[in-house]
Amino acid sequence: MNKLKLCVAGVSVLAALVFVPAASAWAPAATAAIHPGVQTFTAGGQCTSNFIFSDGSNVYIGQAAHCSGTGGNTATDGCTSGSLPIGTKVDVTGASKQGTLVYNSWLTMQGKKEANVDTCAYNDLALVQLDPSDVAKVNPSVPGFGGPTGVAEAPTSAGATVYTYGNSELRGGVTKLSPKQGTVVQQQGNGWSRDVYTVTPGIPGDSGSGFLDSTGNAIGVLSTVQIAPLAGSNGVGDLAREITYMHANSGFGGANVAPGTQPFNPSVVSAILGA
């Protein structure tokens, strides 16, 4: 298995995933400065956020665990690769103050000496707690698509249509290239990940982006661009498994994906392409 992280710099039965609303009202989707897809910068490493999480008291923005990795772009095994510590400050686009890295699946797996090779290879989720002063600027809706409507607990099957919003600054601000449609090619890691082809593959800075299924359920986090066996495909970790692992092995058992305030609408891709 050969793969590369997409940073610019740098199984048990699944439990029910219950949504918990934020402690305060969300900002309007049209004007929210912080939302899924904004860029995060961890010690210079650039990633795209996936979804907004809440535990009823605090609000978090999700990114890939490897966004705070210290081992370079080929260090992808979360049980052996280095990472910046919990408490590391993270710049979040749209926020007035830095967020704080509070959960990292790599550090959690290393702390509990995780031995499952698939979990080590594909569990790639981190939470950044937003400063309370920035919570009023947040909306959990995915730009263009709306949603998420929930979290899909069953692995998405091969051939299924999926959607994602990549926001790398390497696109030069061309927002029409951000919403993308793709197809699941195959499962990896006994359900921990899947290979996905999109119209254009993920590029450096897209890492951490969230993926939605055809009904708007959150299904995964962009972790890698594959070199082999499917060159150019995206490695998308299974979000339900990543959340279940977080709930079972950290102090964030109450943190869940917040549903979007806007209805899911996959036709945005067709509209952008002029179809």
pLDDT above 90 as % of the chain? 65
Q: Point out which residues pair with 136 in neighbouring strands.
A: none
Give the pLDDT confidence score for residue 273 in this predicted structure: 46
Question: How large is the average pLDDT for residues 44-66?
Answer: 94
Residues pairing with 3 in the sheet = 226
CATH 2.40.10.120 is held by the domain 2-8+18-27+34-273: yes
d(CA 143, CA 160): 21
Residue of 164, 156, 221, 208 lying closest to 186 (CA atoms): 156
What is the residue extent of each domain of the chain? 2-8+18-27+34-273
By C-alpha distance, which of 163, 168, 164 is closest to 203? 168
Q: How confident is the model at residue 119 (pLDDT cuts 50, 70, 90)?
A: very high
CA 74 – CA 86 distance, rounded (Å) = 22
Residue type, 247: H
Question: Over the stretch 149-177, which tens digit does the pLDDT of each residue have?
Answer: 999 987 678 899 999 986 655 555 545 55
Ranges assigned E (strand) in the chain = 2-5, 39-42, 45-48, 52-54, 59-63, 89-92, 99-104, 126-129, 150-151, 161-165, 179-188, 193-198, 210-212, 217-228, 234-238, 256-257
Is the pLDDT confidence value at 89 over 70? Answer: yes
Distance between CA atoms of residues 62 and 229, nearest Å? 28
Closest among 72, 66, 138 to 99, alpha carbons compared: 138
pTM attached to this predicted model: 0.87
CA distance 6 to 64: 10
pLDDT of res. 169 = 56
DSSP codes of every residue in 116-134: -HHHHHH---EEEEPPGGG
Please write the tens of the pLDDT for every residue from 26-46: 999 999 999 999 999 999 888
Distances (CA, A) of 50 to 12, 13, 243: 24, 24, 13
Calpha distance 38→30 (Å, rounded): 14
Alpha helices per DSSP H over the chain: 105-111, 117-122, 239-249, 268-273
Which is higher by pLDDT, 143 or 13? 143
pLDDT computed for residue 35 by the predictor: 96
In this prediction, residue 74 has a pLDDT band, given cuts at 50, 70 and 90, of: low
Neighbours of 154 (CB within 10 A): 12
pLDDT value at residue 44: 80
